[in-house]
């Protein structure tokens, strides 16, 4: 993965805004789905699919592709939008989100949609799946990387920590865990529902290399992935601090937007803010 230059960074930042706009439009069309998490993860999805991942939309089952496992499957609107923009399926199909017989269900389903590696739904299981994929790479002597995206709320699941312990013991070096540390879940703020801190110290205690970043700083995220690939002693987790609902002022940091879509007026207001943000990004370069 090459270092990114200024023009490339601008492209990824602008694309993240485009992703956010399409997420809002897609959720409005569906009339259901999650808003806060997908908006908060748009920057990292832009960086992953358009700079970091080794993948080929024309050959989605290419054996040497990097694998991305989405453990917190409820944020799939951001993955669907990004996959569509990357060329895995027609952008027009995003209008079918959560519709009967659609390939774009409320949680990703392996085999239904190109680019979706695993089926997700029950929270806390994605890291175990990702470790299985990473172990398969070792056994098959493959060089691909496995990336696992997980929510902070999933850390309240016991099986998640079993996977963390397993990875630390066996020193997986071909997996990078990305934690969306947005501090919300469907029933409130994580530190009120079930406190997770000190999260960094917990991972370090399980023999992980820990990096903490601003999840909206694309350059920092790319640098963190590069550092993770240079660590040979233990698996790496990137704790990415994000703002849920990023880019839409009335959604930001409000846990009530965790699991609901915007109505028409809310969507129009959100799109107006995001387009203004896009114009600002362009003017800064």
- Domains of the chain, first to last: 6-283 (3.40.50.970)
Other Cβ atoms within 10 Å of 231 Cβ, number: 14
| In 120-157, alpha helices (H) | 126-139
d(CA 263, CA 273): 15
**What are the pLDDT tens digits along the chain (285 aa)?**
557 888 899 999 999 999 999 999 999 999 999 999 999 999 999 999 999 999 999 999 999 999 999 999 999 999 999 999 999 999 999 999 999 999 999 999 999 999 999 999 889 999 999 999 999 999 999 999 999 999 999 999 999 999 999 999 999 999 999 999 999 999 999 999 999 999 999 999 999 999 999 999 999 999 999 999 999 999 999 999 999 999 999 999 999 999 999 999 999 999 999 999 877 777 676
**Which 3 state secondary structure label does DSSP give 210?**
strand
Residue holding tokens 């350059």? 219
126 contact partners, CB below 8 Å, separation of at least 6: 69, 70, 71, 72, 73, 118, 120, 148, 149, 150, 154
The pLDDT value recorded for residue 89 is 98
d(CA 129, CA 245): 27
Question: Are 36 and 254 contacting, i.e. CB atoms less than 8 angstroms apart?
Answer: yes
- 179 φ/ψ sector (left φ>0, alpha ψ -120 to 50, else beta): beta
- How far is residue 267 from each of residues 40, 256, 259, measured CA to CA in Å? 16, 16, 15
Other Cβ atoms within 10 Å of 11 Cβ, number: 17
The pLDDT value recorded for residue 277 is 82
d(CA 84, CA 90): 6
d(CA 116, CA 107): 10
Question: Are 202 and 175 contacting, i.e. CB atoms less than 8 angstroms apart?
Answer: no
d(CA 279, CA 114): 32
Q: Sign of torsion, CA 223 60 160 108?
A: positive
Q: Both tokens of residue 30?
A: 């569906």
Question: 181 forms bridges with which residues in the sheet?
Answer: 241
């Amino acid at each position: 993965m090459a270092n990114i230059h200024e023009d490339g960074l601008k492209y990824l930042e602008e694309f993240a805004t485009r992703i956010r706009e399409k997420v809002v439009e897609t959720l409005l069309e569906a009339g259901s789905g999650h808003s806060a998490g997908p908006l908060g993860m748009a920057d990292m999805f832009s960086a992953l699919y358009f700079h970091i991942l080794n993948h080929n939309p024309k050959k989605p089952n290419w054996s040497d592709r990097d694998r991305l496992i989405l453990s917190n499957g409820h944020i799939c609107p951001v993955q669907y939008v990004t996959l569509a923009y990357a060329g895995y399926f027609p952008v027009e199909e995003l209008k079918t989100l959560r519709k009967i017989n659609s390939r774009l269900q409320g949680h990703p389903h392996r085999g239904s949609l190109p680019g979706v590696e695993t089926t997700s739904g029950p929270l806390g299981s994605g890291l175990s799946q990702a470790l299985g994929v990473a172990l398969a790479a070792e056994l098959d002597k493959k060089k691909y990387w496995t990336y696992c995206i997980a929510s902070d709320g999933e850390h309240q699941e016991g099986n998640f920590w079993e996977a963390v312990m397993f990875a630390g013991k066996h020193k997986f070096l071909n997996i990078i865990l990305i934690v969306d540390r947005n501090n919300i879940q469907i029933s409130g703020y994580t530190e009120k529902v079930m406190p997770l801190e000190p999260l960094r110290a917990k991972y370090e205690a399980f023999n992980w290399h820990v990096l903490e970043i601003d999840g909206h700083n694309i350059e920092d995220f790319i640098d963190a992935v590069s550092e993770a690939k240079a660590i040979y002693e233990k698996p790496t987790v990137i704790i990415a601090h994000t703002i849920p609902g990023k880019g839409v002022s009335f959604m930001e940091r409000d846990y009530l937007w965790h699991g609901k879509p915007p109505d028409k007026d809310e969507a129009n207001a959100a799109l107006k803010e995001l387009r203004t943000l896009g114009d600002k990004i362009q003017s800064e370069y």
